[in-house]
Amino acid sequence: MTDGFQVGTGFKQGDGLAPNLFNIAMEYVIRKLWVQTTSTVFHKSVQLIGYADDINIMGRTKRATSEAYGELKERAKEVGLIISVEKTKAMVQSRRPGKGGTWTVGDHKIETVRRFRYLGTVINDTNDETEEIQARIQAGIKSTAPCKPYSDPNKFTKTTR
């Protein structure tokens, strides 16, 4: 392994090297966490799910999730990554609807939401999928609407059918 080096300036948005360096940094951060990276949340107390720069911390308890968030924040700071507290949201899933509000983790207050969109899917605190199903039906209707004039049976004559 080579010696470390200091980077004096960052990369511009859209630079081809930026995602690779980010992935290397996140790989290091996640390996340093005490969070187990194999199996599912059914066999452990905390699970990390990530896509690009979105990290999802799922936990069985608020305490375990708060500890994972605190450790992720500290490890990320070691490599120069900063977690945007303004963009960070929390959700408690239960059979009973939540009240919203804030959740205090360390010295940060994180907004608690009842629903949000993650990777194009609507997730809510009661795990009700009705809203997501309706959104997908509406998307399907919107995508077929431009073809409607061509599928009208009255527009075709007997010879063209």
Determine the Cα–Cα distance for residues 48 and 146; give it in Å rounded to an integer: 41
The bridge status of strand 46-51 relative to strand 54-59 is: antiparallel
Per cent of the chain over pLDDT 70 is: 80
Mean pLDDT over the full length of the chain: 79
| Predicted confidence band of residue 120 (pLDDT cuts 50, 70, 90) | confident
Query: 38-60, pLDDT tens digit by residue?
Result: 666 566 677 777 777 788 887 77
H-helix or E-strand spanning residue 23: helix 18-32
